Structure formats: C-alpha cells, structure tokens
C-alpha cells in the first residue's frame, strides 16, 4: 500500500492548495473540480485515486486512455468521469467518443463533426469544452501557442458544438502560454468565458491551471484544474 499512501499525501496537499486558493479568491472549494491527469501512469494508480475519493481522471493519448479506461472498468471501478485533455486528431475522434465523458480540446469545426458522429454512433453524449489559444502575438513571428481556437473564433465554434447531436457545450479550456506569466492569460480566458456565457448560459466551465499554476487559475475563476505531477509525481525521477 506504499503507493496509495504516497498518492493520499499528494492528494491532501493538492486539495489544501485548492482550498487556500479559493479562500484567497473568496470562492467555495466545492466549486472547483480536481482532475487527476494520469497520463503515463498505470491503471493501478487510477484505482488507488478512486479509492481515495477522486472521481475525475484526465488522459491525453487515445490508445493509452482507451486501454486504461477499460482496465479500470474491468477492475470494478465504474463511477469515474473520464476527461480527454489532449489534442484530438480527427481520425481518433470516434475512438475518444467511445470512452471519454468530457473532451477539453475542441478547436475546429471538423473535430466537432467527428466527435458528434462518434457520440451518436455509440448512443452517448459528450461534454465538450472549446480550447482557447491564449498565446500573445510575437514580434519575431515565433509562437508560444499550446493549441486551441483563436478567441475570435470561440463563439462560432461554440455555436457548432451546441447544435451538434451527441455533444453538450460546457465552456472553455486553455493552457497558459510557454514563457509568459499565467495570470494575464487566465484573465483573458475569463473574459472569453464571460462572452461565451452571454450567448450560451449553460457553458459555465473554465478548465485552466495545472500543477504549477493552479492557484493563479483558481483566482481567475477556473472551475476545473488538471493536475498531473502534483498528484502522481515526476515519473522521470522515480527508480
């Protein structure tokens, strides 16, 4: 049970960080969902986290996610919400739609159509978030983009999601740009989210913040934080 004890200690520390960030922002910690991002870690870690009360699990690679979700289900853990948090190749959309409950990275109309087709074929409904590109324009032409739709395109893409069979529009997601402080980026995301809610009041989720910047994201209104190394450790450093 050594690994479960390690995960329990990490989970308690992350929950304390979320609670402290919420206190500083005048928010209720119950309004922030912790997603355990278990990419590269074994299904047994998901089972440990589930036993510790974690209900939301994130993955970013289709083949690994599909196998892990099936393994965990076969082990009798069936009440988890699976979040796909990575970029989705269009030709993988049908596969992702078979096991994911939430897709955080909708960034183009073609992907909307593919996820919709996969969901309806499987008789499922997927929650969908529009991934927003928060990278500021660079003078030298370089890019710090972490993927996503341009803010100006979010509204039309959201309209497409809302109209697509098998998809439920839930809100927005973003990753802070590389080489820039996350605060201004998450403030831009909050503004995009507010604009989206004006047209789609049901789209209230803001998925932002990871192990290194979750406090900043919570302060900017994040409803979902995606934590990997803060919970599971750094695999490269393990024996």
Measured CA to CA, the distance from residue 111 to residue 104 in angstroms comes to 12
Measured CA to CA, the distance from residue 96 to residue 60 in angstroms comes to 10
- What are 99's two structure tokens? 């096991």
* CATH fold for the domain made of 2-233: TIM Barrel (3.20.20)
Measured CA to CA, the distance from residue 214 to residue 21 in angstroms comes to 8
pTM assigned to the model: 0.94
Q: Are 82 and 71 in contact (CB under 8 A)?
A: no
**pLDDT digits 0-9 by tens, 159-201:** 999 999 999 999 999 999 888 899 999 999 999 999 999 999 9
Q: What is the radius of gyration, based on Cα positions, of the chain? A: 17
Q: Three-state DSSP class for 229?
A: helix
- What are 152's two structure tokens? 């100006």
- What are 74's two structure tokens? 């076969």
Residue 109: pLDDT over 50: yes
- Burial tier of 123 (Cβ tally within 10 Å: 0-12, 13-18, 19+): exposed
| Local confidence band at 147 (pLDDT 50, 70, 90 cut-offs) | confident
The DSSP result for 130-160, as a single string, is EEB--PPPPTTS-----S-B-GGGHHHHHHH
Residue 19 has a CB neighbour count (10 Å cut-off) of 15
**pLDDT digits 0-9 by tens, 38-96:** 999 999 999 999 999 999 999 999 999 999 999 999 999 999 999 999 999 999 999 99
Place of tokens 């939430």: 102
Measured CA to CA, the distance from residue 141 to residue 159 in angstroms comes to 31
């Amino acid at each position: 049970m050594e690994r479960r004890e390690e995960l329990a200690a990490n989970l308690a520390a992350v929950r304390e960080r979320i609670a402290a960030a919420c206190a500083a922002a005048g928010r209720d910690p119950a309004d922030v969902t912790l997603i355990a991002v278990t990419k590269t870690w074994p299904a047994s870690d998901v089972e440990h986290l589930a036993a510790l009360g974690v209900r939301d699990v994130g993955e970013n690679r289709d083949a690994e996610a599909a196998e892990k979700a099936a393994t965990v289900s076969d082990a009798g853990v069936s009440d988890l919400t699976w979040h796909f948090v990575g970029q989705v190749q269009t030709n993988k959309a049908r596969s992702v739609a078979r096991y994911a409950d939430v897709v955080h990275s909708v960034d183009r109309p073609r992907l909307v159509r593919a996820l919709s087709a996969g969901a309806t074929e499987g008789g499922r409904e997927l929650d969908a978030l529009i991934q927003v590109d928060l990278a500021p324009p660079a003078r030298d032409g370089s890019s710090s983009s972490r993927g996503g739709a341009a803010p100006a395109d979010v509204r039309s893409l959201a309209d497409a999601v809302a109209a697509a069979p098998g998809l439920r529009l839930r809100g927005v997601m973003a990753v802070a740009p590389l080489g820039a402080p996350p605060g201004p980026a998450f403030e831009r995301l909050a503004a995009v989210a507010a604009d989206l809610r004006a047209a789609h009041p049901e789209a209230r989720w803001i998925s932002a913040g990871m192990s290194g910047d979750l406090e900043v994201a919570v302060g900017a209104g994040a409803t979902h934080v995606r934590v990997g190394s803060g919970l599971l450790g750094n695999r490269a450093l393990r024996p």
